[in-house]
């Protein structure tokens, strides 16, 4: 699919090279939404605010019913873990939506494309995701 914003198109092309597949594309006057999926990595949503020349990048982790019970039974420990993860994060912010029962991982990126900078951005984002999973002993016990 052809994306009107050339920087965003370059980012999607780069992600496709890394094994992501464009799954959904919504183009509106002031924003563009793109969902990219990967077989083993977290799916990503790019919400580009064209007038501000930035893109919000986020991913959602749904929790199992057992994990939701663990969170509700020990909220203090869970939120302490989230705070710890956020302190250690390179570029991402982790938050919990109690109503929807999911964890949101979000960051933002200027809407400019440079191959090396975008590679570093994706590496930092994937490192944050991996570090969250490794620090989340909360869910393994």
CATH class of the region 6-139: alpha beta
pLDDT band with cut points at 50, 70 and 90 for residue 100: confident
Phi-psi region of 32 (alpha: psi -120 to 50; beta: other; left: phi over 0): beta
The sign of the torsion formed by the CA atoms of 72, 76, 77, 80 equals: positive
Task: Tell me how far the alpha carbon of residue 61 is from its chain's centroid.
Answer: 9
| Span of 12-16, 62-66, 91-95, 134-138 with lowest mean pLDDT | 134-138
Q: Quick one: pLDDT at residue 114?
A: 96
What tokens were used for 6? 């050339």
Helix (H) or strand (E) holding 5: none
- Does residue 3 contact residue 34 with C-beta atoms inside 8 Å? yes
Model pLDDT for residues 35-63, shown as the tens digit of each residue: 999 999 989 999 999 888 899 999 988 88
From the DSSP assignment, how many helices (H) and strands (E) are in the chain?
Answer: 4, 6
Q: Quick one: pLDDT at residue 1?
A: 65
Q: For the chain, give every domain's residue range.
A: 6-139
Per-residue pLDDT, averaged over 58-70, amounts to 86
Q: How far is 120 from 35, CA to CA, in rounded Å?
A: 20
Q: Quick one: pLDDT at residue 139?
A: 65
- The tally of CA atoms less than 13 A away on the side-chain side of residue 65 is 0
Per-residue pLDDT, averaged over 84-100, amounts to 91
Per-residue pLDDT, averaged over 122-127, amounts to 95
Share of residues in the chain with pLDDT > 70 (%): 95
- 40-55 as b/e: b if 16+ CB within 10 A: ebbebbbbbebeeeeb
Is residue 141 pLDDT above 60, yes or no?
A: no
């Amino acid at each position: 699919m052809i994306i009107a914003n050339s920087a965003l198109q370059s980012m999607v092309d780069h992600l496709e090279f890394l094994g992501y597949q464009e799954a959904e594309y919504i183009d509106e006057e002031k924003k563009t939404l793109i969902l990219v999926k990967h077989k083993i990595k977290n799916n990503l949503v790019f919400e580009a605010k064209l007038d501000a020349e930035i893109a919000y990048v986020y991913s959602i982790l749904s929790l199992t019913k057992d994990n939701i019970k663990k969170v509700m039974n020990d909220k203090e420990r869970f939120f302490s873990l989230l705070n710890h993860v956020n302190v250690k994060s390179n570029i991402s912010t982790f938050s919990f939506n109690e109503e929807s029962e999911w964890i949101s991982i979000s960051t933002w990126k200027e809407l400019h494309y440079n191959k090396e900078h975008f590679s570093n951005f994706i590496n930092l984002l994937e490192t944050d995701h991996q570090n969250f999973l490794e620090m989340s002993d909360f869910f393994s016990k």
